[in-house]
Chain A
Amino acid sequence: MKIKTTRFGELEVNPNDIVTFAEGLLGFENLKRYFVVDPGDSTLILWLQSTEDEKVAFPIIEPKIFKPDYIAKLLPADLNGLELDSLQNAKLYSILTIPANVTEMSANLKAPVVINSNKKVAKQIVLQDSKLSVKHEMYKQLKMFIVNFSSDDARRTSYEPSIALEAGDFKSTNVNLNNNRTLEAQ
């Protein structure tokens, strides 16, 4: 099917690559259906593009790229909504904010997007950990990663916008099931 997008023009999208956010994203509750666009540029940034509003696309990235020790502790309730029977099928992304001064870019570590690519359902999950920031600056770490892997550039020279729903395995992004929790709010 063809889907119009403001940033990438008209894309041919396999209906199987469309995922449903039953609750939408915070502030975008009316938009439920998205797909991931890999523009294949050097930034390693992917886009979560709405099928229902061509203007709405969230820049996203795998947090392990800039923060290898990042842990998203999901609660049982989070998993229910995702129909996850195995963490193998889940992919984890941080939403990026990219201001005009691009070196001040930041990632939202507090509320990552988890996609169950098997069941085509996804959710923005607000993590319980109060130390996680919604605006974690990470330009330097991203640059370090890209400079270190620049010899690997050949892998990413395809310029056609492609739909990519596979991106790294879940184990290495350290998603843990959290069975202990602190219940005192300060």
Chain B
Amino acid sequence: MLVLTRKLGESIAIDDNIKIVVVQIKGKQVRLGIKAPKETKIHREEVYQAIQDQNTEAVQANMSDIARLGEELKKK
């Protein structure tokens, strides 16, 4: 992994079209601004983890729960 040191207001360029700026440093938090082409996907890493966890939970669904859900949904 390439590690770079940057100060407030400084930036990093990735390829010709992606720029990451240090916008704010507050205690243990760093605020980053990212300029990138609109087709570039940018997410916090934990978003992917949350989706992966959700998918793993989703396939646990069993038919007896579904049957019970069907009953519950039909109740007036």
A binding-site residues for B, Cβ under 8 Å: 7, 25-28, 41-43, 45, 55-59, 75-77, 80, 95-100, 102-103, 105, 108, 110-111, 124, 126, 128, 134-135, 142-143, 146-147, 150, 178-181, 183-186
A-B residue pair count with CB separations less than 8 angstroms: 118
Shortest Cβ distance from A24 into B: residue? B55
Given contacts A45-B66, A126-B48, contact A97 B41 (CB under 8 A): no
Closest to A126 in B: B43
Chain B residues in the interface with A (C-beta under 8 A) = 23, 31-36, 38-44, 47-48, 50-59, 61-63, 65-70, 72-74, 76
Give min CB distance, B54 to chain A, whole Å. Answer: 5
Beta-carbon contact of B74 and A42 below 8 Å? yes
Which A residues are CB-close (under 8 A) to B31?
Answer: 186
Contact status A27-B56, CB under 8 Å: yes
- Would A108 and B54 count as touching, CB distance under 8 A? yes
Is the pair A126, B47 in contact by a Cβ cutoff of 8 Å?
yes
